[in-house]
Structure 1
Amino acid sequence: MTWFRPLAALIALFWAAPLVAAQEAPDLLSRWVEEPRAAYPVGEAELEDFEFRARPIVVFADGPGDPQFERQVAFLAERIDELTARDVIVLIDTDPDARSPIRRALRPRGFAVILIGKDGRIAQRKPAPFTGRELIHAIDKLPLRQQEIRDANRPFDRPGAQAMPFSRTE
């Protein structure tokens, strides 16, 4: 039975460590809501975390010194305000050995830029840098983005519309 205590302590440590880490650091989506203009490392994030909330642009490279990676970051920085208005979260993965969940799901080979729609589907995949203009054009062609544009242009008090009955319970 003396071997059981160290084993139980080890199991408890493995169970508690992720819980403590989750309590200490806010999740990626919360951080993005606070600062939507930043680029974030993919870490342990999953693509499902962003469905119907954000459009991930995932930039993969074999290292932070990759010239294509540096060009892509510059292209994104030039248009960050326009990308932010389109609910884009920029995710960076420059460590192929880390095997993050997003890297395992998308399986890039070397440098890659992948645009994911709000519906979770891959909208564009490219082994070379996207210009900011190309990305914005690709986003604006997505069906959910088209719906957002239509909804933004629709007047609230259109002819024939009736207000929903509202009752207050106090």
Structure 2
Amino acid sequence: MNRLQSLALLAALTTLPFTLALAAQEADAPPRAPDAGLSEDAAPEELSVEEAAPAFEIRDGYDVDIEEFQWTHRPVVVFADSPADPRYQEQIDELLQDIPALMTRDVVVFVDTDPKARSALRKKLRPRGFMLVLIGKDGGVKLRKPLPWSVRELSRSIDKMPTRQREIEARRGG
């Protein structure tokens, strides 16, 4: 495992927000010619994790216009009446278990744990207590669940969607 892959793995396991794109960026980059004129003990150019690619993060959903993500992302919205709700905490833990799977499926996660704020998401989706909502790239609500779901369950639901099927075909070159 090279330095960039190690850095990406370390970032994935320890921090939020982070990126996993360093390894992919290196794999996609054309081979570099050795730098002329550098001594053997010269340090190679350092890459910053922040510069690499878009980061996965869990965002506040209080002032979000969900339509901004239409055709580019699949929003997952997690509602709870309090951040201390055990179902909310379990859901966040579940989402953090497999971030690469979420990133591959263009998932962006929003949370709203303040019912008194009456956010636009709450007005549109009308949750009662804890609720997980999956919104498709077309902007339609694809899934509502009153209990936490694993990334595996979410991934399976997303992978059955026609838009996702087309994305998979396009990546295969078909």
Equivalent residues in 2 for 1:11-26, closer than 5 Å: none
Distance in 1 of aligned mates of 2:147 and 2:80: 10
Q: CA deviation at 1:38?
A: 0.7
- Give the match for residue 104 of structure 2: 85
- Give the match for residue 57 of structure 2: 38
Aligned residues: 122
- Give the match for residue 85 of structure 2: 66
State the 4+ residue runs in structure 1 displaced beyond 3 angstroms: none
Match of 2:154 among 135, 138, 146: 135
Please, what is the CA RMSD of the aligned residues? Answer: 1.1
Query: Structure 2: which 5+ residue stretches go unaligned?
Result: 1-52
Q: CA deviation at 1:35?
A: 4.2
Q: CA deviation at 1:132?
A: 1.2
Contact 1:72 1:130 (8 Å CA) reproduced: yes
1:105-148 Cα deviation digits (max 9, x unpaired): 00000000000000001111100001111001011111110110
- Give the match for residue 19 of structure 1: none
Match of 2:121 among 76, 99, 102: 102
Match of 2:170 among 151, 156, 159: 151
Query: What is the letter of the counterpart of residue 71 of structure 1?
Result: E
Q: CA deviation at 1:98?
A: 0.5
Q: CA deviation at 1:150?
A: 0.8
- Give the match for residue 125 of structure 1: 144
TM-score normalised over the length of structure 2: 0.68
Contact 1:75 1:130 (8 Å CA) reproduced: yes
In our comparison, the structure showing a higher alpha carbon Rg is 1
Query: What is the letter of the counterpart of residue 73 of structure 1?
Result: I
Q: CA deviation at 1:53?
A: 0.9
Contact 1:36 1:89 (8 Å CA) reproduced: no
Query: Structure 1: which 5+ residue stretches go unaligned?
Result: 1-33, 156-170
SS at match of 1:78: coil
Change (3 A) 1:65 1:35: farther
SS at match of 1:108: coil
